[in-house]
Structure formats: structure tokens, C-alpha cells
Amino acid sequence: MKMSLLLLMAAVLAAAASSAAVFPEEAATPFCNVGFDKLMSCKPAVTDPPEKPTSECCDVIKSADLKCLCSHRSDLSIVPSINPKLALALPKKCKISSVPPECKGH
């Protein structure tokens, strides 16, 4: 259950990176309660070599609509630069303890 959510977050970060590069005007457009440009604050924490997630990154993850992210999981693909193991550790590092029911079992 948590693994799926974290992989989804990695995919969202990857999608944010490519979307912001191709469509800069879309970077601030909210997606699941968070702008793609804000999600990019977490990229250093989920790419090698990893950095400690910043308070900005953790605030972004905490404010994201995780239910929404789970509903878009099939629309996203993981980019090779995102390390899934690091993404899996991000919620724990940001002290996020609960996962919405919509994310369980996926």
C-alpha cells in the first residue's frame, strides 16, 4: 500500500520535471493540490545522490491531495532519474504516517 503511493509520488515528480521543461507556463498549474513547480522541490531527495528532503519538499508532500495522486497513478510513468527506493523513503523522512484508503491495495 505505501509502496504504491511512493512509486506514484516518484512518477508525479518525473511528470512534473518533463511538464515544466516542455510547458513552462504549466509549471505553476495545480495538480492534486500542488503546482508541478512545487513538486520539483523534492527531486533532489529522490535522485542519486540523494539529499535530505527540505522542509519545502515535506510541506509540498504534506499538502498534496494523496487521494487525487492515487487516482492518476495509471496516467504517469517513472523516469529513470527517479530512484524508487528514495521515493519510498520520502514520506517517512517527512514524517507522513497515514495513507488515504484510496491508495491502499494498488
In CATH terms, the fold of domain 2-98 is: Hydrophobic Seed Protein (1.10.110)
Share of the chain above pLDDT 70, in %: 48
Q: Is pTM beyond 0.85 here? A: no
Domain regions of the chain by residue span: 2-98
Share of the chain above pLDDT 90, in %: 13
Q: Residues 54-84: pLDDT tens digits?
A: 999 999 988 888 677 666 655 544 556 777 6
The Cα–Cα gap between 70 and 8 comes to 7
pLDDT bin (cut points 50, 70, 90) of residue 32 is confident
